[in-house]
Amino acid sequence: MSLDANKILELLETLVSGSRTETPLGPGLIVSPRDAFLFSAITGSTYFENHVYPFTPKGLLKIFYNALDYNFVTGIFDNLALKNTPHYISERRNYLLENNKTIVPVEINSEQEFKKTLKEAFPNNAFDNDLIILRVDLSKKGYGLESFLEYLVCKYFNRHGFITENQIPLSHALGSPDFGGFSISEVQKSVIEHGVLSAGFNVIELSMIRDFTDHTKAMEEPNISSKFLVGEAKTSTSSMELQLRKYLRSGYFDEALEIHPTKSKSSSNDLGMFFLKDNRISFVPGSNPISLSDSPKKENYKNWLISYFNCYLISNYTNDELNLVCNKLLGKKLQSKNDLIELVKNFDFNTHLETLNKFLKNGTI
């Protein structure tokens, strides 16, 4: 199936609570501020706050370059200071938290045509920052919608009790997988016990706890399979197996899946297949029951992932508040990158979530 604007809306309706509406740019789906921010962060869809440089948090919420490493990317952190966090971003752009938003898929054939469409619908440089525009570029094979596929697969596996992420840090040699799905019971039990998220969530949501409070507090049991999934998404080609084999060489992942809008049979029996059929999402797991991971390597990766998740949790604070947290947990001020690494490595996820939850409830560290 081709991912035109109408099919995109139909797919979104199966995953996100919302209602259709008409906008000057065409039909859209009304969603909560939280769902809107996550959608924009994953797909790169832009808040229509102006005609020249509309805003998206995509690319701003990164933390590390590589797995098992602690070299910070300029993103959520800048050196050891918090910078592009959802809290700071929403302070600069208050509209992110105000009003429901409307996701509008806009079909275009060129950049020139797109700018003309915006000017005709919103003359005199008018704008509507409650609109989120997903560009559907008909001039590109696959319409340039791989990031939308990444969003779909993340939401699907969230519903099946997995922590998910797209464009996950791995290594320069192996590349960045388009999708990762993780079941880590101690993390998932902790978010349920503290009532902050459901068992299945995207890692970005850990950084949104403070400000985007319209989250689901489902109390379902987490997925206890301890499975780690990796996936590769394509729209312009159906060739994904070679890249997936590279990811599997890391030893971190139990299963791998190909992600494609129309390909319904995987390239190999041991690979799963995520695809779209009749405006619905379908997933067929690989038939090989043998785990593809290496237990010691997977355990090291899991430990690193928990520190990685801690980084997202502590990004809910301001820099002054983070200093107080460091003083409480480490007994010293946050003065170096090593202090920051020590803070996220030396304390488990539940300790950090408990500290954050008490602060959000009581206003003190």
DSSP states along 120-166: HHS-TT--EEEEEEEEEETTSGGGG-HHHHHHHHHHHHHHTT-EEES
CB distance 273 to 266 below 8 Å:
yes
* Diameter over CA atoms, the chain: 61
Which helix (H) or strand (E) segment holds residue 117: the answer is: helix 111-121
Please tell me whether residue 317 adopts helix, strand or coil conformation.
coil
CB distance 191 to 201 below 8 Å:
yes
Question: How far is Cα 313 from Cα 343, in angstroms, rounded to an integer?
Answer: 12
Condensed to tens digits (0 to 9), the pLDDT of residues 278-321 reads 878 999 999 875 678 999 999 999 999 999 999 999 999 999 99
Quote the pLDDT of residue 219: 46
- Written as six digits, the tokens of 43 are 């797909």
Q: In terms of Cα–Cα distance, which of 276, 282, 284, 278 is closest to 255? A: 284
The owner of tokens 């920051």 is 340
Quote the pLDDT of residue 264: 93
The parts of the chain modelled with pLDDT lower than 50 are 219
Question: How far is Cα 86 from Cα 89, in angstroms, rounded to an integer?
Answer: 5
Condensed to tens digits (0 to 9), the pLDDT of residues 36-71 reads 999 999 999 999 999 999 999 999 999 999 999 999
Quote the pLDDT of residue 139: 83
Quote the crossing angle between the two packed helices 5-15 and 146-159, to the nearest 10°.
20
The owner of tokens 């797919």 is 11
Question: How far is Cα 148 from Cα 290, in angstroms, rounded to an integer?
Answer: 31
| Cα angle, residue 206 at apex, residues 166 and 193 outer, rounded to 5° | 125
Question: How far is Cα 351 from Cα 157, in angstroms, rounded to an integer?
Answer: 26
Question: How far is Cα 89 from Cα 71, in angstroms, rounded to an integer?
Answer: 23
